[in-house]
């Protein structure tokens, strides 16, 4: 299985998926023209990865902003991770948010209430 590295743009986040280390990273802004198209390779990769994940899958999400269509796709990503977690593998989601960004903190808490995976809320000081 190959790693995926998608370079971020002003409208799309940087995405790094590494099957060897079990690290999943989504960072930046997520306001792509077509969210489903942008996130499809990520969801497909996680589907393949779920067949033989590492002992610990560590997910780092550090988004400055995401639009409504991205939020649905991010939920799809978390659902794939939840399936990995349910099959007996350890999954940790680190949700980063800036100190004064209550909206991003609340978004993380909303995902946490839906997805049965341990979330760590990590505040970034500006």
Q: Average pLDDT in the 86-98 region?
A: 97
CA atoms of 33 and 50, how far apart (whole Å): 28
> What's the CATH number where 97 sits?
3.30.750.24
Domain that holds residue 44: 4-124
Whether the pLDDT of residue 126 is over 80: the answer is no
Q: Average pLDDT in the 73-95 region?
A: 97
Q: Average pLDDT in the 75-104 region?
A: 97
Number of domains in the chain: 1
**Please, which pLDDT band fits residue 77 given cuts at 50, 70 and 90?**
very high
| Phi–psi pair at 23, nearest 5 degrees | -95, 135
Whether the pLDDT of residue 79 is over 90: the answer is yes
Which stretches within the chain are classed as H helix? Answer: 35-49, 68-86, 102-114
CA atoms of 28 and 109, how far apart (whole Å): 19
Q: Average pLDDT in the 27-35 region?
A: 97
Hey, is 111 helix, strand or coil?
helix
**Please, which pLDDT band fits residue 28 given cuts at 50, 70 and 90?**
very high
Q: Which two tokens stand for residue 14?
A: 């940087």
Q: Average pLDDT in the 80-103 region?
A: 97
Q: Average pLDDT in the 15-30 region?
A: 98
pTM of the model: 0.95
Whether the pLDDT of residue 26 is over 80: the answer is yes
- For residue 50, the model assigns a pLDDT of 97
């Amino acid at each position: 299985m190959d790693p995926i590295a998608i370079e971020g743009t002003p409208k799309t986040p940087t995405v790094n998926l590494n099957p060897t280390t079990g690290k999943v990273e989504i960072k930046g802004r997520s306001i792509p023209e077509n969210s489903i198209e942008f996130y499809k390779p990520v969801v497909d990769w996680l589907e393949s990865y779920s067949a033989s994940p590492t002992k610990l899958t560590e997910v780092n999400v550090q988004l400055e902003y995401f639009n409504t269509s991205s939020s649905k796709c991010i939920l799809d990503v978390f659902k794939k991770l939840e399936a990995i977690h349910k099959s007996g593998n350890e999954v940790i989601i680190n949700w980063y948010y800036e100190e004064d960004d209550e909206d991003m903190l609340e978004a993380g808490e909303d995902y946490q209430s839906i997805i049965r995976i341990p979330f760590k809320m990590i505040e970034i000081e500006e």
